[in-house]
Chains A and B, each alone.
Chain A
Amino acid sequence: GAVVSQHPSWVICKSGTSVKIECRSLDFQATTMFWYRQFPKQSLMLMATSNEGSKATYEQGVEKDKFLINHASLTLSTLTVTSAHPEDSSFYICSARDSQGLAREQYFGPGTRLTVT
């Protein structure tokens, strides 16, 4: 089956530093990937849609200069949280849409837990 991995699975960083999270589709190509954020005991909120070779589309209220997204290949998208602050602590989940599949088929990664101290 389609597998999406995320790295790292958890990270602790100091306030003011930047953190990069990778999302990889392991056995399929994904022209489109999605980044979600989940606060404790809350649902997933779509942050941005990442398209291979073009700029990401950010949801309203998401700062594009703070959450940098790069989708340089058909199997990798990265989310960089710049100048992280404690309020950025959250669970970040990516999903990938199979380029050869249907638009409704998205596969989710296991998530990355970010803690900013």
Chain B
Amino acid sequence: GEDVEQSLFLSVREGDSSVINCTYTDSSSTYLYWYKQEPGAGLQLLTYIFSNMDMKQDQRLTVLLNKKDKHLSLRIADTQTGDSAIYFCADYGQNFVFGPGTRLSVLP
């Protein structure tokens, strides 16, 4: 089946930029998503990118997509303690396939 991979942990200092990486295998992916999950809560859609785009920027969030390498990244500028959460990459081909999640810890 299709697969989505992410690094499991990332620690950054408050004010620095965070970059969370994701790779996927589905060649038919039409959209790629980033979701945020805080402890004990459901999923919050952060942003998504259409597969024919290279970049999308939304305030502090920048998504980069390298379709050739099937690589997606999420950059969070000026990371704050409130950004500490698990970030899931997901691709949508026929259904959603989620990565394992990257746990972002923001250190004061």
Contact = CB atoms under 8 A, between A and B. Distances in A.
A76 B48 CA distance: 27
The interface centre, meaning the residue of A44, A45, A106, A109 with most chain B CB atoms within 10 A of its CB, is A44
A104 B50 CA distance: 11
A95 to B, nearest CB: 8
A106 B96 contact: yes
Chain B contact residues: helix, strand, loop or mixed: strand
Contact of A46 (B30, B40, B45, B96): B96
A106 B96 CA distance: 9
Contacts of A93: 42-43
B59 interface: no
Contacts of B103: 41
A108 B98 CA distance: 13
Given A43-B88, A43-B101, A46-B96, A104 B40 contact: no
A42 B100 contact: yes
B43 to A, nearest CB: 4
A102 to B, nearest CB: 9
Given A43-B100, A44-B98, A46-B96, A111 B88 contact: no
Contacts of A34: 95-96
Nearest to B88: A43
Interface in B68-108: 88, 92, 95-96, 98-101, 103
27 contacts: A6-B42, A34-B96, A41-B103, A42-B100, A42-B101, A43-B88, A43-B98, A43-B100, A44-B43, A45-B98, A46-B95, A46-B96, A49-B95, A93-B43, A95-B96, A104-B31, A104-B48, A104-B92, A106-B96, A108-B35, A108-B42, A108-B43, A108-B45, A110-B41, A110-B42, A111-B41, A111-B42
Top 10 nearest A-B pairs (CB, nearest first) are A110-B42, A111-B42, A108-B43, A43-B100, A44-B98, A43-B98, A104-B31, A104-B92, A108-B42, A43-B101
